[in-house]
């Protein structure tokens, strides 16, 4: 019997309402608390608009938990 290695998975979330570096830090901090999240990367902050946030996890990302984490930071997200 061979163990199948689990590969990391990256999920793109579109987060609305972030306007500054503090917003990015808040969202990043909350997302890193979600089980399985290894890394959070924000590409090109779009002030007040929709910003792509890439979440790398050790398996499938729990989208409900990720959305709740973003909402906890005060923003909205969709996958």
| Domain CATH code at residue 66 | 3.30.70.100
pLDDT at 3: 64
In a domain, 10, yes or no: no
Q: How far is CA 38 from CA 1, 4, 16, 32, 50, in A?
A: 28, 20, 22, 7, 23
> What is the domain extent for residue 30?
17-78
Structure confidence by residue, pLDDT tens digits, 15-69: 999 999 999 999 999 999 999 999 999 988 887 789 999 999 999 999 999 999 9
Rounded distance between C-alpha atoms, residue 47 and residue 44, angstroms? 9
The tokens describing 30, both together, are 């909350």
Query: How confident is the model at residue 10, as a pLDDT?
Result: 97
To the question of pTM greater than 0.75 for the whole model, the response is yes
Which residue do the tokens 């979330």 mark?
13
Residue 38 lies in a domain: yes
How far the first Cα of the chain sits from its last, in Å, is 36
Q: Domain for residue 5, yes or no?
A: no
**Number of domains within the chain:** 1
């Amino acid at each position: 019997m061979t163990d199948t290695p689990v590969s990391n998975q990256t999920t793109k979330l579109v987060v609305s309402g972030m306007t500054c570096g503090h917003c990015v830090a808040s969202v990043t901090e909350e997302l890193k608390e979600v089980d399985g999240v290894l890394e959070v990367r924000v590409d090109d902050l779009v002030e007040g608009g929709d910003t792509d946030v890439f979440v790398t996890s050790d398996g499938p990302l729990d989208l409900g938990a990720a959305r709740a984490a973003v909402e906890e930071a005060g923003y909205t997200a969709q996958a």
